[in-house]
Amino acid sequence: MAFGLLYDYLMGQTIDAYKYFGAHFEKRGKVDGVVFRLYAPMAEDVSVIGEWNNWDVTRDKLAKIDDSGCWEVFIPGLHDYQSYKFHFKNAKGQYVDKADPYAFYSEYRPATCSRLFDYTGFIWHDSSYLNKRNRNFDLPMSIYEMHLGSWKGQVDGRNLSYEEIADYLIPYIKGLGYTHVEIMPIIQYPFDGSWGYQATGFFSVDSRYGNPKQLMSFVDRMHQEGIGVILDFAPVHFAKDDFALYNYDGAHLFEPADTRRRISPWGSAYFDLGKDPVRSFLMSAMNYFLSEFHFDGLRIDAVSNMLYIDGDKSKGEHSGAIEFLKRTNSYLHQRHPNIMMIAEDSSDFYGVTKPLEYGGVGFDYKWDLGWMNDTLKYYSKDPIYKKYEHNKLTFSMAYFFNENFMLPFSHDEVVHGKGTLINKLWGSYEQKFALLRNLFTYQFAHPGKKLNFMGNELASFDEWNESKSLPWVLKTFPMHDSISRLVRDLNLIYRYERAMHEKEYDPRCFNWLMVDNSDQSIFAFERVVGDSRLVFVFNMTPNYYEYYDIGVTQEGIYEEIFNSDKDIYGGWGQYNGLPVHTSDFGPYNKPHKITIKIASLGAMIFKYKGK
């Protein structure tokens, strides 16, 4: 390793560490082989053991090549898929066998060895997609979040491969109108129930579904169909399994030495994000997936636990981790100007999506978990009591323009006894479906990019289980299948109407039309971009109105382009079929009004057609 690159690694300034550390196929002279490199400052008597040497600790010793703790050996004649580990004496004088922190592939659990794999040489076909890719600030972005293993489930007792999943996923995503998929973590992890958020191999593609080039094929095929792919990544913590990163060289190489700061609320080990080599390690892992796999962005998990100590504002800011986040966003955006960095953050930390030059943390988007919690609480209330919770639906617009927010109904909302979306909602069977249609319409109408977890479109009453397939049989029931159609139509309108996706973070493009009608629990607002003007109306109670006045700012003709109560969505068919004309003197001091029919628990979108 050139001195400058090693210095950058030790100073936490490189995102290319994976190109040096780990196991790389090389040709030295006329000899093909693999060079193994390991960073383990407190290790002694290091060797690599594997299938080729019958796990003999005496045969393939690594030489210490500098005083910083880098070890290296070249072994000829090796090939893909051979298993290996590093064997060495740690700082406590114990001999241990450890997986390669930079391994590009690993054995399928419960086996724990790293495996050789040459990730180079894949032939990509997505150049036209990459040339047009950007961060989507003024473009529609509707994300389908998914867990690869449980989307279709196992077939004949085995997981589908990355490529097999793509066969089914591509037509499904295109049919529903989503612009992106976000896959839950697919770096190597031992425990299925962690869903990938407690990993052991941060460069190792999850062997449950295939090898690195199969994952490349998955992304390549998605891109060829115009579908973006976002990777969920968890740099906060890692699994404590003895064979992996935890207490790696006996001197807490990756985790904090302070026992009070070592264990996370999830029982895993925190990364010590104040250590510069750890920063280089994690930044390089993220860059590896962006560079070598062409992912379009990263969703960073548990950002609040990096902004504040243990995610608790009262414990103070986590200065080392904040610096890590700023450095990560800076380096990755410099290398990949058109990728998206998305923060899963529940805190009120200021400037998460502000540029670094303005004192921000540098993310492109942030999940609006406050909006999600307030919205679901409101929709779960009995209509009699909704008027006392009216502010839960109006509060979001008081802070929304402070950050670039994304509106998530994610996997976290359909597990651990929380109930699925439809289970959370008030009412009878039919009323729950009506409210769910209303809820999805509200999500798409509200400014901000959209995210829905797989299965939301099926209106399942059963919580998600990572060991089971989605309940696809629900598609045979009209009420459930109609929700899928509604989601599809909302996606299509969202993509077509400029007012629904351009300038989403410009407060001049949003205007409340009816915000204080708590007694009737009816809301109305408009969104305007250029000559595109849409009016959204929501009735949050079972009351039906044959004639209802909604104040508008523009005189002319309005046409209803969407109504959640149409029979094709499973509703009662109470919609406005003909265009409506304005008259003067609207309610709430609006200069004009339209008189419309409002369905029970209905949601409507009207498009301004001119004078």
**Catalytic amino acids?**
301, 344
Q: Say if CB 278 and CB 271 are below 8 A apart.
A: yes
Q: How far is 195 from 184, CA to CA, in rounded Å?
A: 7
Q: How far is 461 from 110, CA to CA, in rounded Å?
A: 32
Q: How far is 215 from 237, CA to CA, in rounded Å?
A: 24
- Give, in degrees to the nearest 5, the angle at Cα 289 between 283 and 295: 120
DSSP string, 366-386: EE-HHHHHHHHHHHHS-HHHH
Which is it for the CA torsion 124, 126, 132, 133, positive or negative?
A: negative
Quick one: which of 86, 78, 68 has its CA closest to 32? 78
- Give, in degrees to the nearest 5, the angle at Cα 304 between 367 and 247: 130
Q: Say if CB 75 and CB 23 are below 8 A apart.
A: no
Which is it for the CA torsion 199, 204, 206, 208, positive or negative?
A: negative
Per-residue three-class SS string for 425-481: CCCCHHHHHHHHHHHHHHHHHCCCEEEEECCHHHCCCCCCCCCCCCCHHHHHCHHHH
Quick one: which of 44, 50, 79, 80 has its CA closest to 62? 44
- Centre a 10 Å sphere on the Cβ of residue 425 and count the other Cβ atoms it contains: 21
DSSP H or E run through 126: none
Q: How far is 80 from 119, CA to CA, in rounded Å?
A: 10
Classified as helix, coil or strand, 410 is: coil
Phi and psi (nearest 5°) for 23? -120, 115
Alpha carbon distances (Å) from 4 to 9, 11, 335: 9, 10, 18
Quick one: which of 349, 546, 343, 360 has its CA closest to 451? 343
What is residue 99's DSSP assignment?
A: -
Tokens standing for residue 218: 């998955």
Angle formed by the axes of helices 3-10 and 276-293, nearest 10°: 110
DSSP H or E run through 327: helix 319-335
Q: Say if CB 27 and CB 55 are below 8 A apart.
A: no
Q: How far is 189 from 228, CA to CA, in rounded Å?
A: 24
